Amino acid sequence: RGDFALELSENIVHGSDSRASAKRELALFFPDGLV
């Protein structure tokens, strides 16, 4: 994260805090369940 980001507070790396959050967040980017 720190090695590749220009700003530590603004980067594209994200980690969900739970399985439920991960499921909801994945559906935002992959609505057809392609993951």
Residue 14 among the catalytic residues: yes
Q: Model confidence over 1-35: pLDDT tens digits?
A: 556 667 767 766 678 999 999 999 889 888 886 76
pTM listed for this prediction: 0.53
Catalytic option among 7, 14, 17, 33 = 14
**Cβ 22 vs Cβ 16: under 8 Å:** yes
**pLDDT (0 to 100) of residue 17:** 92
* pLDDT value at residue 5: 67
What was the pLDDT predicted at 11?
A: 66
